[in-house]
Amino acid sequence: MHKRKGFTLIEIIVVVAIIGILASMIAVSVNTALKKARDTKRKVEISQIGRFISGSCYLPAAGAGEYDLADLLVELRAAYPQYATILSQTPRDPGPGTSVQSFYRYLVTADGKCALYANLENDAEPITLSNMSAPTPDGGKGVFAAPTSGWNGSPKYFQVSN
C-alpha cells in the first residue's frame, strides 16, 4: 500500500484553531496595554497643563462654565502673547481628540476655582478621589468615578484642580 505524506484536514483545522486562540489572547492583552498607555498620556498632559492653568484659574471672557481646552488655549494665546510659545501645541485626548476639539475639559467657577479633566479608558483604574462623582473645582488631583460613562467609554475620570 502507498503511504501518503502530509497532514489531514483535522490536523490543519486544529492548528488553525490554536493559532486563532493565541492571536485573540495577544490582541486582548495588546488592547489593554494600549488603553493604559493612552490613559498615561492623558494624565501627563492634564497634569502639565493643569499646573499652568490651575495656578491662577483663568476665567475666560465668556465667564464661569465648562470649556474644551482647545477653545480655552486659543483665548489664552490671544490674551497672553508671552505664553504663545509655551502653549503652541494644544494637548488633546489620544482617542477622540482633534485639533478643533481636544476632549480635555476645563471647568471654572466665578469665585476663582477650576478643574481640568479627561475621561479615561481603563475601567480598572483605581479611584483616588472617592468622595467625588463629577469634576469638582477645588477637588484635588486624582481619579474619580462618575455615574455614567464618558466619551472614552469609561466612567473613570482624571482631574487636576486648585
Q: Quick one: DSSP state of residue 121?
A: S
CA pair distance 158, 46, nearest whole angstrom? 8
pLDDT digits (tens, 9 = 90+) for 37-85: 999 999 999 998 888 776 788 899 999 999 999 999 889 888 888 877 8
- Domain membership flag for residue 5: no
Residue 77 structural domain: 12-161
- Domain membership flag for residue 123: yes
- Domain membership flag for residue 92: yes
pTM for the model stands at 0.82
Predicted pLDDT of residue 1: 60
What DSSP line would sit under 132-160, residue for residue? -SS--TTS-SEEEE-SS--TTS-SEEEEE
C-alpha cell at 77: 494665546
Mean pLDDT of the chain: 91
Question: How many domains would you assign to the chain?
Answer: 1
- Domain membership flag for residue 151: yes
pLDDT digits (tens, 9 = 90+) for 109-150: 999 899 999 999 999 999 999 999 999 999 999 999 999 999
pLDDT band per the 50, 70, 90 thresholds, residue 2: low
- Domain membership flag for residue 133: yes
